[in-house]
Amino acid sequence: MRKLVHGAAPLTAPLLAAALVAALPAPAAAVPDPAGTVGIEDIRRHLEAFQEIAAYNGGDRAAGRPGYDVSVKYVVSQLKRAGFTPRVQPFQFDYWEERTPAAFARTAPAPPATYRPGTDFQTMRYSGTGDVTAAAAAVDVPAAGAGTAGCEAADFAGFPAGSVALIQRGTCSFETKAANAQAARAAAVVIYNLPGEPGQVNGTLGRPFTIPAVETPHALGAELVRAARAGGLRLRIRTDTAAGKRSASNVIADTVHGRDDNVVVVGAHLDSVREGPGINDNGSGAATILAVAQWIQRPGRQAPRNKVRFAWWGAEEEGLVGSEHYVASLSAADRAKLALNLNFDMLGSPNGIRGVYDGDGSLGTGTTPPAGSGAIEKIFKDHYAARGLPTLESEFNGRSDYGPFIEHGIPAGGLFSGAEVVKTPRQAALFGGTAGRPYDPCYHKACDTTANIDWRLLDTHAGGVAAATWRLAASTLPVNGEARRAVRPGAALPRAAVPAAEWRGGHRVR
């Protein structure tokens, strides 16, 4: 995957026009004329707006904070100008913040060791507050793979109350592991990463806990497990956090036309983390679907056969709260009207990948995709293959806002340019960039600004977003068996296809 110098001149080629030509099956729905395509400058304009909003509102756009509220107002304003009637759906969520830096140390056996925050450990989101010095005990350390690793109450049989629980990541949510530890009267929890997974896990416990919880890379966690088994290991963990309830909202807007019993939901989360403005994560997805929404609703555009519902989710960084609230708020009858969900979470990573969610389950990892998800994956892959642009399958693990949809059997798919995972030499050979460095070095950091965007990668992702959206607005037959209906008498006739313009080259809850 390619990596371009930050600030490189963006492409101006109308990739969307090419996307629409290749993506539509015969007989094709109307292909838009090239004068009104989605360009990278449309997306750049929205990203610059998000950046300015963050800069004047505390440096972030986190849910429950002023930067998020102003971001919602910006999206609503832009949608109204485009002819939508957006709906703001409020909800409450559990918020959490770290008031002062945490401390983590080995006090015995000698020599003592003090661990560095941000490098050796970090506080898990929704950790409780406390200052604990106690013996440490390993919980269900698997011989290989993740095992149950604290996912079952039985894993804590014989656990010494008042000890620090050492638990490996995997198999179930961090919340489940911490809840089982708390029920076993652990004084604190240390969750360490899986073998072969670099760095921290960037995990959330999903809800406020009373005991301190920190996470470490695998190497340190494995070292502590060995010391605990040898006997005499004592750890100090100090955390200072605050938690409570805050309000946030989703923004939802439907196209004026299209079947309302076969709705294509196109979503991206609008919130950032507290650490920064969140321009790649996930201003890039939010800005892209906003530009596509504005394009699809322009006067004179051929009406979509299926209604497209654009959604900007709130509090994704707090544990998919907004999308879960939306799906849970629907009746069973209304959920049955949703044909599928497209999700776009990070599209411009500066050392990124062109990842397509593994909808057919060929990776053999992650969750089991609902039927139809493989067809969505193929739509994206075909789009990029026709342009000579390589793709990689991205794990379909339910860790972004498509998760609540697939839990209800709704097919889903999407694109992903990569977060904190390190790029491999093979990926660098395919796409350029730097092997051994994260896809996004500014993931969840203050440096996630407009300077943190690979504009060419984002441009190609935008073409895929637009192509899939228009293709599925025309027909969802390969996804859910709903055949295209005949054009009504008097409806606009399809325009001729335009020449294809090409450019050739190059989050977690458990």
Q: What is the pLDDT of residue 484?
A: 60
Q: Is residue 7 part of a domain?
A: no
Question: What residue ranges in 156-233 does DSSP mark as E strands?
Answer: 164-168, 188-192, 213-216
Q: Do 259 and 373 reside in the same domain of the chain?
A: yes
Alpha carbon 321 to chain centroid, angstroms = 12
Q: Is residue 487 part of a domain?
A: no
Q: Do 265 and 233 reside in the same domain of the chain?
A: no
Collect all residues with Cβ–Cβ distance below 8 Å to 461 and sequence separation of at least 6.
284, 288, 344, 347, 348, 354, 415, 417
Of 187, 212, 243, which closes a domain? Answer: 243
Q: Is residue 495 part of a domain?
A: no
Q: State how beta strands 234-254 and 306-313 pair.
A: antiparallel
Q: What is the pLDDT of residue 358?
A: 97
Q: Do 337 and 388 reside in the same domain of the chain?
A: yes
Q: Do 166 and 270 reside in the same domain of the chain?
A: no
User: Which of 98, 175, 316, 502 does the annotation list as catalytic?
Assistant: 316
Helix (H, G, I), strand (E, B) or coil at 278: coil
Of 210, 243, 276, which closes a domain? Answer: 243
Q: Do 22 and 102 reside in the same domain of the chain?
A: no
* CATH code: domain of residue 219: 3.50.30.30
Q: Is residue 489 part of a domain?
A: no
Please state the φ and ψ torsions of residue 147, each to the nearest 5 degrees: 60, -160
**Residue position matching structure tokens 């999308």:** 323
Q: Do 311 and 442 reside in the same domain of the chain?
A: yes
What's the whole-model pTM score? 0.76
Q: What is the pLDDT of residue 140?
A: 86
DSSP 302-327: PPPSEEEEEEEES-GGGTSHHHHHHH
Collect all residues with Cβ–Cβ distance below 8 Å to 327 and sequence separation of at least 6.
335, 404, 405, 407, 408
Query: In Å, how far are 201, 335, 487 from 305, measured between CA atoms?
Result: 42, 19, 8
pLDDT, mean of each 10-residue run, the chain (510 residues):
30 39 38 56 98 98 97 98 97 92 97 96 96 96 68 94 96 93 98 88 88 96 94 97 95 97 98 96 98 91 93 95 98 98 98 98 87 98 97 93 97 97 96 97 97 97 96 97 58 29 32
Q: Is residue 490 part of a domain?
A: no
Burial (CB count <10 Å: 0-12, 13-18, 19+), residue 500: middle
Query: In Å, how far are 260, 262, 274, 339, 478 from 483, measured between CA atoms?
Result: 14, 10, 45, 12, 9
- How many domains, the chain? 2
Q: Do 421 and 458 reside in the same domain of the chain?
A: yes
**203-207-212-213 Cα dihedral, nearest 10 degrees:** -20
Element (H, E) at 68: helix 66-81
Q: Do 48 and 72 reside in the same domain of the chain?
A: yes
Q: What is the pLDDT of residue 148?
A: 67
Q: How many Cα atoms sit within 13 Å of 180 on the Cβ side?
A: 23
Separation between Cα atoms, residue 136 and residue 148, nearest integer Å: 19
Give yes or no: 316 in active site: yes
Reading the block at residue 458, the tokens are 């984002």
Reading the block at residue 454, the tokens are 């690979």
Q: What is the pLDDT of residue 35?
A: 34
Q: Is residue 368 part of a domain?
A: yes
Q: Do 353 and 461 reside in the same domain of the chain?
A: yes
Burial (CB count <10 Å: 0-12, 13-18, 19+), residue 7: exposed
Helix (H, G, I), strand (E, B) or coil at 166: strand
Of 214, 243, 272, which closes a domain? Answer: 243
Evaluate the CA torsion angle 289, 291, 296, 299 in order and state its sign: positive
Query: In Å, how far are 190, 216, 238, 253, 319 from 123, measured between CA atoms?
Result: 9, 9, 10, 37, 16
Q: Do 267 and 363 reside in the same domain of the chain?
A: yes
Helix (H, G, I), strand (E, B) or coil at 220: helix
**Residue 45 belongs to domain spanning:** 15-84+255-478
Q: Which of 331, 138, 356 is nearest to 229 (CA)?
A: 138
Q: Is residue 2 part of a domain?
A: no
Q: Do 187 and 308 reside in the same domain of the chain?
A: no
Separation between Cα atoms, residue 270 and residue 344, nearest integer Å: 11
Q: Do 283 and 208 reside in the same domain of the chain?
A: no
* CATH code: domain of residue 455: 3.40.630.10
Helix (H, G, I), strand (E, B) or coil at 183: helix
Q: What is the pLDDT of residue 16?
A: 42
Reading the block at residue 377, the tokens are 């994956």
Q: Which of 473, 484, 79 is nearest to 298 (CA)?
A: 79
Q: Is residue 120 part of a domain?
A: yes
DSSP 96-161: EEEEEEEEEEEEESSSPEEPPBTTTBEEPBT---EEEEEEEEE----SSS--STT-SGGGGTTPPT
